[in-house]
Amino acid sequence: MPAGSSYAYYPGCTLHSTAREYDVSLRLVCQKLGIELRELKDWACCGASSAHAESRLLGIALPARTLQAAEEMGLPLGVACAMCFSRLKLASHELADGDTLDQVGRIIGRGLGNKATVVHMLQVLDGEREALPIKRTLEGLKVASYYGCLLVRPRDIVGFDDEENPQMMDRLVEATGAHAVPWGFKTECCGAGFSVPRADIQLKLSHRILSQAKAAGADCVSVACPLCHSNLDSYQQVMRREYEHEIGLPVLYFTQLLGLALGFEPRELLLKRHITDPLPVLKARGLA
Amino acid sequence: MKMAQLTPAGTIHPFPRSGLQVFVESQSGQRVLRCYQCGKCTAGCPSAYAMDLGPRRVMRAIQLGLKDEVLASSTIWLCLQCQTCSARCPAEIGIAEVMESLRLLAAAERSRPAERDVALFHRLFRDLIRRWGRIYELGLGALYNLRGRHPFANLGLLPHLLSRGKLPLLPQRTKGASQVRAIFARVRAAEREAPPPEAKEGTDASRQ
Is the pLDDT confidence value at B202 over 90? no
**Higher pLDDT among residues B198 and A195, named by residue:** A195
Instruction: From the options 3.40.50.11810, 3.40.50.800, 3.90.25.10, 3.40.640.10, give the CATH code of A133-284.
Output: 3.40.50.11810
| Domain assignment of residue B11, yes or no | no
* Rounded mean pLDDT, B89-97: 97
pLDDT tens digits, residue range A106-136?
Answer: 999 988 999 999 999 999 999 999 999 999 9
| Domain assignment of residue B61, yes or no | yes
Is the pLDDT confidence value at B163 over 90? no
**Higher pLDDT among residues B78 and B203, named by residue:** B78
B182 touches chain A (CB under 8 A): yes
Q: Where are the domains of chain A?
A: 6-121, 133-284
Q: What is the CATH number of domain A6-121?
A: 1.20.1050.140
pLDDT tens digits, residue range B99-157?
Answer: 999 999 998 898 999 999 999 999 999 998 998 898 888 888 888 888 888 887 878 88
* B133 and B168 both lie in a single domain: yes
Contact residues on chain B for A161, CB-CB shorter than 8 A: none
Tell me the nearest-neighbour CA distance from A171 into chain B, angstroms.
23
Percent of chain A with pLDDT over 70: 99
> Order of strands, edge to edge, in the sheet holding A6-10?
A36-39, A6-10, A77-79, A118-120
Burial classification of residue B197, based on how many CB atoms lie within 10 Å of its CB (0-12 exposed, 13-18 middle, 19 or more buried): exposed
Is the pLDDT confidence value at A1 over 50? no
Q: Name the domain boundary from B86, B114, B142.
A: B114
* Rounded mean pLDDT, B22-37: 94
| Domain assignment of residue B83, yes or no | yes
Q: Tell if the CB–CB gap between A18 and B187 is shorter than 8 Å.
A: no
B145 touches chain A (CB under 8 A): no
Cross-chain CB nearest to B183 (options A62, A155, A199): A62
Of A204, A170, A168, the residue nearest A188 (C-alpha):
A204
Which residues span the domain enclosing B184?
A: 116-193
Q: Tell if the CB–CB gap between A17 and B168 is shorter than 8 Å.
A: yes
B74 touches chain A (CB under 8 A): no
CATH number, domain containing residue B85: 1.10.1060.10
Q: Measure the N-to-C terminal CA separation of chain B; round to a whole number of Å.
A: 9
Is the pLDDT confidence value at A3 over 50? no
pLDDT band at A164 (very low <50, low <70, confident <90, very high): very high
* B174 and B162 both lie in a single domain: yes
pLDDT of residue B206: 41
Q: Name the domain boundary from B80, B114, B148.
A: B114
DSSP track, chain A: --TT-EEEEE--GGGGTTTHHHHHHHHHHHHHHT-EEEEPTT-----TTTHHHH-HHHHHHHHHHHHHHHHHHTS-EEE--HHHHHHHHHHHHHTTSHHHHHHHHHHHTS-------EEEHHHHHHTTGGG---SS--TT-EEEE--TTTTTSSHHHH--S-SSS--HHHHHHHHTT-EE---S-TTS---GGGGTTTHHHHHHHHHHHHHHHHHTT-SEEEES-HHHHIIIIITHHHHHHHH-------EEEHHHHHHHHTT--TTTTTGGG-SS--HHHHHHTT--
* B93 and B123 both lie in a single domain: no
**Structural domains of chain B, count:** 2
Contact residues on chain A for B176, CB-CB shorter than 8 A: 42-44, 65
- Rounded CA separation A229/A249 (Å): 12
Tell me the nearest-neighbour CA distance from B186 into chain A, angstroms.
6
Contact residues on chain A for B80, CB-CB shorter than 8 A: 149, 189, 191-192, 194
pLDDT of residue B1: 46
Cross-chain CB nearest to B84 (options A13, A17, A189): A189
Scored b (16 or more CB within 10 A) or e, A43-55 reads bbbbbbbbbbbbb
Tell me the nearest-neighbour CA distance from B3 into chain A, angstroms.
35
| Cα B96 → chain centroid | 8
Contact residues on chain B for A18, CB-CB shorter than 8 A: 137, 161, 166-167
* B95 and B39 both lie in a single domain: yes
In B, minimum Cα distance to A276 occurs at B160
pLDDT band at B205 (very low <50, low <70, confident <90, very high): very low
Scored b (16 or more CB within 10 A) or e, A92-112 reads bbbbeeeebbebbbebbeeeb
pLDDT tens digits, residue range A23-59?
Answer: 999 999 999 999 999 999 999 999 887 888 778 899 9
Contact residues on chain A for B126, CB-CB shorter than 8 A: 50-51, 54, 58
Percent of chain B with pLDDT over 90: 53
| Domain assignment of residue B75, yes or no | yes
Q: Tell if the CB–CB gap between A273 and B125 is shorter than 8 Å.
A: no
Q: Which amino acid is at B102?
A: L
| Domain assignment of residue B27, yes or no | yes
* B91 and B125 both lie in a single domain: no
Q: Tell if the CB–CB gap between B103 and A201 is shorter than 8 Å.
A: no
pLDDT tens digits, residue range A248-285?
Answer: 999 999 999 999 999 999 999 999 999 999 999 999 99
What are the backbone angles phi and psi of residue B165, rounded to the nearest 5°? 65, 25
pLDDT tens digits, residue range A134-145?
Answer: 999 999 999 999
Is the pLDDT confidence value at B207 over 50? no
* B49 and B95 both lie in a single domain: yes
Name the most confidently modeled range: A46-50, A64-68, A192-196, B203-207: A64-68
pLDDT tens digits, residue range B48-65?
Answer: 999 999 999 999 999 999
Q: Judged by CB atoms within 8 Å, which residues 152-181 of B form the interface with A?
A: 153-154, 156-157, 160-161, 164-168, 172, 174-177, 179-180
By the 8 A CB rule, do B67 and B76 touch? no
By the 8 A CB rule, do A233 and A273 touch? no
CB pairs under 8 A between A and B: 181
Of B12, B60, B53, the residue nearest B35 (C-alpha):
B60
Is the pLDDT confidence value at B203 over 90? no
pLDDT of residue A244: 87
- What is chain A's mean pLDDT, rounded? 95
| Domain assignment of residue B166, yes or no | yes
CA distances from A279 to A93, A219, A267, A282, B145 (A): 42, 11, 10, 5, 34
Q: Name the domain boundary from B114, B138, B167.
A: B114
| Domain assignment of residue B12, yes or no | no
| Domain assignment of residue B200, yes or no | no
The least confident of A104-108, A160-164, A203-207, B155-159 is: B155-159
Contact residues on chain A for B134, CB-CB shorter than 8 A: 13, 16, 44-45
**Higher pLDDT among residues B172 and A73, named by residue:** A73
In B, minimum Cα distance to A192 occurs at B80
Tell me the nearest-neighbour CA distance from A3 into chain B, angstroms.
31
Q: Tell if the CB–CB gap between A53 and B184 is shorter than 8 Å.
A: no
- Rounded CA separation B14/B36 (Å): 12
- Rounded CA separation A143/A213 (Å): 9
**Higher pLDDT among residues A35 and B11, named by residue:** A35
By the 8 A CB rule, do A220 and A210 touch? no
